[in-house]
């Protein structure tokens, strides 16, 4: 399907708004949108990471301004994920393998988001060794698939009761920003950066959505209800990839 700037702009705005409410950059949603338009894999992964940078950066700024950021919850995942995201981005997968892995990742994320949609956990102490191991695995998978990793990190934080939903959103946002930057660096050094001609339009639209979504999520609305909408976005992508 040829890329329609109006349709893709509306879809990106919607994804950026929804995902930024829970501190996510929206890479899995952008991949879903781009897959509908049959965009090549190398363009999909590069574009999703760039949009991630802008949305996650805006989301983190607003969540931090609302005093939901906790550094002690964040740094173990950052230091372990960044080098592995760079390594993962160096791998160039066959189109079929990439599609299968992406479908599995999106299905897993949808399941975890659905399971944790109404969780309001009491905080437990963060065990350093498990945080470092989780960060390494998330970074590697994120680098390979071209996503920021928030769809894996958020469910882990909530299910393990390592942070409340607002802190989880802030941690996910900064994690996604740094992880996406590492992934883009790996793609740059491996010669896999490729962008569509309408990238500036996509960036402008996603920034507008990020401002709206982050403001609502950080300062106005509870975040649990929006995860059901994210589940629908992810499942739509899985269905598209299967058929």
Task: Report in angstroms the alpha-carbon separations of 128 from 5, 132, 162, 178.
Answer: 45, 6, 11, 19
pLDDT-above-90 percentage for the chain = 23
Least confident window among 72-76, 105-109, 136-140, 210-214: 105-109
Average pLDDT, the chain: 82
Look up the pTM and report it: 0.79
Q: What is the structure's pLDDT at 219?
A: 82
| Residue range 86-98: mean pLDDT, rounded | 78
| Contact between 106 and 237 (Cβ < 8 Å) | yes
Q: What is the structure's pLDDT at 191?
A: 80
Residue 200 has pLDDT above 70, yes or no: yes
Cβ neighbours of residue 232 closer than 8 Å, sequence gap 6 or more:
none
Token code pair at residue 9 = 């702009």
Name which of 51, 21, 29, 27 is nearest 148 in CA terms: 27
* pLDDT tens, residue by residue, 102-123: 788 778 777 776 766 555 555 5
Q: What is the structure's pLDDT at 207?
A: 96
Q: What is the structure's pLDDT at 205?
A: 96
Give the per-residue SS3 of 114-139.
HHCCCCCCCCCCCCHHHHHHHHHHHH
* pLDDT tens, residue by residue, 5-52: 889 999 999 989 988 888 888 887 888 888 888 788 888 888 988 999
User: What residue segments make up the domains of the chain, in order of their start?
Assistant: 5-242
Q: What is the structure's pLDDT at 227?
A: 64
Name which of 15, 59, 60, 64 is nearest 36 in CA terms: 15
Q: What is the structure's pLDDT at 109?
A: 73
* pLDDT tens, residue by residue, 165-181: 788 889 989 988 988 88
């Amino acid at each position: 399907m040829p890329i329609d700037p109006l349709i893709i702009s509306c879809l990106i705005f919607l994804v950026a708004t929804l995902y930024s409410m829970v501190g996510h950059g929206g890479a899995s949603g952008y991949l879903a949108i781009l897959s509908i338009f049959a965009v090549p894999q190398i363009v999909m992964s590069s574009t999703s990471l760039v949009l991630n940078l802008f949305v996650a950066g805006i989301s983190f700024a607003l969540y931090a301004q609302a005093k939901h950021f906790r550094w002690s919850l964040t740094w173990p995942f950052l230091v372990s994920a960044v080098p592995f995201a760079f390594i993962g981005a160096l791998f160039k997968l066959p189109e079929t393998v990439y599609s299968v892995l992406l479908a599995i990742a999106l299905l897993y994320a949808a399941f975890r988001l659905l399971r944790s949609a109404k969780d309001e956990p009491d905080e437990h102490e963060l065990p350093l060794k498990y945080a470092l191991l989780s960060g390494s695995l998330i970074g590697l998978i994120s680098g390979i698939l071209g996503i920021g990793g928030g769809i894996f990190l958020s469910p882990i934080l909530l299910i393990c009761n390592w942070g409340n939903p607002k802190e989880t959103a802030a941690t996910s946002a900064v994690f996604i920003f740094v992880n996406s930057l590492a992934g883009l660096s790996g793609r740059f050094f491996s010669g896999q950066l490729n962008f569509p001609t309408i990238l500036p339009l996509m960036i402008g639209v996603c920034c507008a959505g990020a401002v709206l979504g982050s403001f609502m999520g950080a300062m106005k609305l509870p975040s649990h209800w929006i995860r059901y909408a994210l589940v629908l976005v992810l499942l739509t992508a899985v269905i598209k990839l299967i058929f």
